[in-house]
């Protein structure tokens, strides 16, 4: 497979397949494609289908298989931001925000990733469940706004406003911590909790989470009186 990512701020990933190669996508992700591609809706086991549902995706996925050399298919972002191509390998698993998965080679497995600590599940703005990409191959994810990358040393910690964590290496630990001080909580305007990430590993921070943008726009929408 060959691919190129074009366009800003609404990017698109265009993948060109060899005969017999397949891509797995979320339902509705395909934007355009050439002839010579066969589509099949797949669901896998009940456990995997349920896992996709609770992680923010559809229970079913679409599989596109090239019936000839050079067949191509495009997947466009649904929000202003970036599409990143990830090289997934054994020992190089990635954890991605809910609904971040766009498409992947068939050899990449999408599963659910639970927060190990109950507090992170209850209060983390990323939700109780994220998505884990494992296996061997290329995967495409969509991230909100621009993206800033940090490489954390073992034991190095960062604090993020909830919702800004886009993805991380599976080696990174994540938890939430309450903001200290009653004055800071009630007057600081930053909410009750921050997301805490601890290395080793890389973290990708997005600059415009969809919920944050939606809340900003909502203040300008008149309410019915």
Tens digit of each residue's pLDDT (9 = 90 or more) over 75-131: 998 889 999 999 999 999 999 988 889 999 999 998 887 655 555 445 544 445 788
Conformation bin of residue 31: beta by default, left when phi > 0, alpha when psi is -120 to 50: alpha
Q: Is the pLDDT of residue 176 over 80?
A: no
How do residues 12-29 score in pLDDT, each as one tens digit? 999 999 999 999 998 778
Residue that wins the pLDDT comparison between 100 and 223 = 100
How do residues 132-174 score in pLDDT, each as one tens digit? 999 999 999 999 999 999 999 999 999 998 789 999 999 999 8
Query: The tokens of 54 are what?
Result: 């609770």
Decide: 201 and 171 in contact? Cβ < 8 Å. yes
Question: Which is nearest to 71 in space by CA: 98, 105, 28, 36?
Answer: 36
Q: Is the pLDDT of residue 36 over 60?
A: yes
What average pLDDT does this structure show over 184-204? Answer: 74
What domains does the chain contain, in order, with CATH numbers? 2-218 (3.60.160.10)
Q: Could you give the CA distance from residue 111 to residue 190 in angstroms, rounded to a whole number? A: 31
What pTM was estimated for this model as a whole?
A: 0.81
Q: Could you give the CA distance from residue 196 to residue 124 in angstroms, rounded to a whole number? A: 9
Q: Is the pLDDT of residue 182 over 80?
A: no
Instruction: Look at residue 45 in the predicted model and tell me its pLDDT.
Output: 46
């Amino acid at each position: 497979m060959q691919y190129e990512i074009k366009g800003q701020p609404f990017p698109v990933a265009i993948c060109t397949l060899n005969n017999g190669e397949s891509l797995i996508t979320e339902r509705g992700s395909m934007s355009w494609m050439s002839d010579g591609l066969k589509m099949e809706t797949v669901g896998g086991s009940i456990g995997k289908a349920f896992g996709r549902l609770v992680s923010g995706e559809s229970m079913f996925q679409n599989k596109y298989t090239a019936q000839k050399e050079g067949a191509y298919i495009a997947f466009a972002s649904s929000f202003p931001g970036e599409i990143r191509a990830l090289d997934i390998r054994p020992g190089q698993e990635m954890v991605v925000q809910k609904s971040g998965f766009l498409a992947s080679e068939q050899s990449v497995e999408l599963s659910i990733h639970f927060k190990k600590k109950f507090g992170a599940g209850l209060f983390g703005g990323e939700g109780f469940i994220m998505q884990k990409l494992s296996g061997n191959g290329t995967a495409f994810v969509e991230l909100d706004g621009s993206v800033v990358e940090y490489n954390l040393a073992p034991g190095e910690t960062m604090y993020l406003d909830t919702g800004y964590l886009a993805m991380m290496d599976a080696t990174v630990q994540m938890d939430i911590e309450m903001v200290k001080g009653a004055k800071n909580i009630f007057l600081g305007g930053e909410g009750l909790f921050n997301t805490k990430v601890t290395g080793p590993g890389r973290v990708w921070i997005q600059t415009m989470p969809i919920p944050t943008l939606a809340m900003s726009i909502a203040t300008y929408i008149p309410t019915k009186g």
